């Protein structure tokens, strides 16, 4: 690795960049900018995660898909991450009667990959520091930012000392509750919204078998869809699965009602009958892990006069139901990097151009992710939805160059999210019309699906 990827024409060793927040997006961004020769310092409010225990309450594994891989590969880190990733080739649905059904995500080798958040974060940090000359300063909480002059104050948790950092550009990757955005919120004409969805989540665990093997199919993302709530499970390399229960925080079928360990046991036994016996630490996990909330953040504009810019969750936190939170943040970094070339290192042009291009895509994936909660929790049980999935899957097998479902565009392509949303909407209209016109009753007799596709090909694949 090392500096062999440097483009000397972009070497600006005199430019100092401050990154606020050493999460996934901040660390990847640090790699990109360090590689270009900028003098990059990352300030992180937590302790060095490589020395401390991993942060509780954050999702422990994540699904990395094509946008994430593209961004990692572009800076030469894809292979390092792939070593620890587990391919998930489709959804494995678990019914209340413990029946299993498998829906492939894509065609051929297409898969999404379960990666450990903590492991990935440490890997990125390590490479940023060792390969790309990035400096990390931990235990530093951002207190205030002088947006006009790209000066930031940080307070050290231990000494309580406040330092002022001057730089040419501040890039804020400090997450959904971004302090930098909190300061920008007071700017005139700054639009901002935070919307909590009705559901919270809690992480639980399915341990490995005694021999270290996975007790459920490890090549799938497991879903127990139950309408108003659902549980999912992603495989870990150590043979365990990390489960996440998503459910309303109040009202019918809610966390509020699961207010005793007896209730929790009764509930899991009843609604997740095949998972319950696999969760020996349910009670401990339930009590130890926080009930966390899910917020959608939108704001505009993301940048301030070529001096400060928000990226990742800081500018567009989304719900996790499309598996695109990290992927969209990584794609931000990839897009920003393209803008550095396009505008020859002139931040006064790079930041507005980046924000302008990326904002509609962030809005689109925010909407799609929210919509996918209903798909995952509910529609995956719907015969009409399953028919559509089956039809789309077969079209993609037959004509991989001519058709991509919305899911595939989001997950297995680099088509802009806003464009994927637009095409997906048009596909919806066409499929609805054709299914209605042909009065298809929920399934195809053997062999008839290909005939149907061939007959209606032009209508089905128009983009």
Binding-site ranges for its own copies (CB under 8 A): 185, 188-196, 249, 293
User: What minimum distance in Å lies between the beta carbon of 7 and its own copies?
Assistant: 35
User: What minimum distance in Å lies between the beta carbon of 201 and its own copies?
Assistant: 13
Tokens of 383: 């015969």
Is 195 or 284 the residue whose CB approaches its own copies more closely?
A: 195
DSSP letter for 251, please.
Answer: S
The span from the CA of 326 to the CA of 330, in Å, is 6
- Please identify which residue in the block is written with the tokens 């993609």: 396
User: What minimum distance in Å lies between the beta carbon of 188 and its own copies?
Assistant: 5
The span from the CA of 80 to the CA of 77, in Å, is 5
The span from the CA of 72 to the CA of 82, in Å, is 10
User: What minimum distance in Å lies between the beta carbon of 249 and its own copies?
Assistant: 7
Angle value at C-alpha 210, between 201 and 115, nearest 5 degrees:
40
Is 23 or 301 the residue whose CB approaches its own copies more closely?
A: 301
Tokens of 304: 């301030």
Is 188 or 429 the residue whose CB approaches its own copies more closely?
A: 188
Is 157 or 190 the residue whose CB approaches its own copies more closely?
A: 190
Contacts of 117 (CB under 8 A, 6+ apart): 24, 54, 58, 59, 60, 61, 62, 326
User: What minimum distance in Å lies between the beta carbon of 57 and its own copies?
Assistant: 12
Is 190 or 444 the residue whose CB approaches its own copies more closely?
A: 190
The span from the CA of 31 to the CA of 333, in Å, is 10
Q: Do 405 and 413 touch, CB atoms closer than 8 A?
A: no
Tokens of 380: 């995956």
CA dist 243 to 82, 92, 198, 282, 346, Å? 22, 13, 19, 10, 45
Is 277 or 290 the residue whose CB approaches its own copies more closely?
A: 290
User: What minimum distance in Å lies between the beta carbon of 184 and its own copies?
Assistant: 11
């Amino acid at each position: 690795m090392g500096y062999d990827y440097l483009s000397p024409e972009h070497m600006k060793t005199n430019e100092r960049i401050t990154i606020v927040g050493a999460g996934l997006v901040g660390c990847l961004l640090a790699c990109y900018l360090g590689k270009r020769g900028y003098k990059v310092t990352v300030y992180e409010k937590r302790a060095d995660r490589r020395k401390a225990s991993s942060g509780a309450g954050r999702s422990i594994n994540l699904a990395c898909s094509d946008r994430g891989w593209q961004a990692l590969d572009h800076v030469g880190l894809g292979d390092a991450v792939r070593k620890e990733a587990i391919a998930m080739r489709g959804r494995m649905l678990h019914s209340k009667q413990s029946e299993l059904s498998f829906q492939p995500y894509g065609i051929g080798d297409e898969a999404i990959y379960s990666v450990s958040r903590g492991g990935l974060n440490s890997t990125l940090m390590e490479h940023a520091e060792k390969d790309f000359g990035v400096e990390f300063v931990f235990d530093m909480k951002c207190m205030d930012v002088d947006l006009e002059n790209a000066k930031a104050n940080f307070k050290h948790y231990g000494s309580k000392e406040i330092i002022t950092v001057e730089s040419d550009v501040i890039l804020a990757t400090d997450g959904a509750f971004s302090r930098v955005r909190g300061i920008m919120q007071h700017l005139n004409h700054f639009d901002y919204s935070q919307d909590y969805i009705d559901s919270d989540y809690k992480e639980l665990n399915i341990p490995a078998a005694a021999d270290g093997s996975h007790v459920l199919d490890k090549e799938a993302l497991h879903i127990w869809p139950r309408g108003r709530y659902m549980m999912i499970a992603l495989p870990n390399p150590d043979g365990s699965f990390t489960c996440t229960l998503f459910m309303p925080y109040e009202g019918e079928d809610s966390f509020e009602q699961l207010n005793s360990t007896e209730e929790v046991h009764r509930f899991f036994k009843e609604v997740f009958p095949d998972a319950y016996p696999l969760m020996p630490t349910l009670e401990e996990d339930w009590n130890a892990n926080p009930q966390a909330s899910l917020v959608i953040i939108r704001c505009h504009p993301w940048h301030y006069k070529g001096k400060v810019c928000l990226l990742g969750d800081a500018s567009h936190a989304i719900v996790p139901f499309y598996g695109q939170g990290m992927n969209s943040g990584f794609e931000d970094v990839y897009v920003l990097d393209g803008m550095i070339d396009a505008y020859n290192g002139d931040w006064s042009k790079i930041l507005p151009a980046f924000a302008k291009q990326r904002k509609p895509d962030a809005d689109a994936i925010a909407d799609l992710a929210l919509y996918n909660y209903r798909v995952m929790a509910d529609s995956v049980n719907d015969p009409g939805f399953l028919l559509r999935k089956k039809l789309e899957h077969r079209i993609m097998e037959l004509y991989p160059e001519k058709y991509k479902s919305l899911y595939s565009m989001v997950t297995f392509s680099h088509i802009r999210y806003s464009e994927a949303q637009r095409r997906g909407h048009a596909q919806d209209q066409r499929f609805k019309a054709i299914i209605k016109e042909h009065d298809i009753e929920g399934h195809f007799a053997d062999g008839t699906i290909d005939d149907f596709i061939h007959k209606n090909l032009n209508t089905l694949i128009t983009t």
